[in-house]
Amino acid sequence: MTDSAPERVLATAAALDLIGQLRERHGPLMFFQSGGCCDGSAPMCYPLGEFSLGDSDVLLGLLDGVPFYMGAEQFAYWEHTQLIIDVVAGNGGMFSLDNGTGRRFLTRSRLFSDAELRRLPAPARAAAVQEPFFNPTPRTP
């Protein structure tokens, strides 16, 4: 058993593949876990900076270098779970970059064990961590 903290968000190989394809097509990306309304509770993928984050939004982690955020109120319900971002056949959310690919991102989850919960650090607020993502190092040709 390892003493390292578990990741709050992970991606399957299929999700990482689609993230790579979308990054090639659209450049740097970001995710926000939708909390309902029009697109249900789907992970939404946007070009980096195209979705306005609030000061209380939470950075859950990185998926292949792509920041994954969630609203603080929703996080209060999900803080005991590890999110596993997967891909299934279907149409993505209306505003998400996976729309039109024939595949969509899907959030699966599992409860953290008590031991894992004790090792989890407090999540970072979006306001404190946006800078490195929103000013990425320019790509060299």
Distance in angstroms between the alpha carbons of the first and the last residue of the chain? 43
How many whole angstroms separate alpha carbon 97 and alpha carbon 42? Answer: 12
85 within 8 A of 10, measured Cβ to Cβ: yes
Q: Is the pLDDT of residue 92 over 90?
A: no
Domains delineated in the chain? 13-134 (2.60.300)
Q: Is the pLDDT of residue 141 over 50?
A: no
Using pLDDT thresholds of 50, 70 and 90, give the confidence band for residue 129: low
* Tens-digit pLDDT profile for residues 20-62: 999 999 999 999 997 765 545 789 999 998 888 888 899 999 9
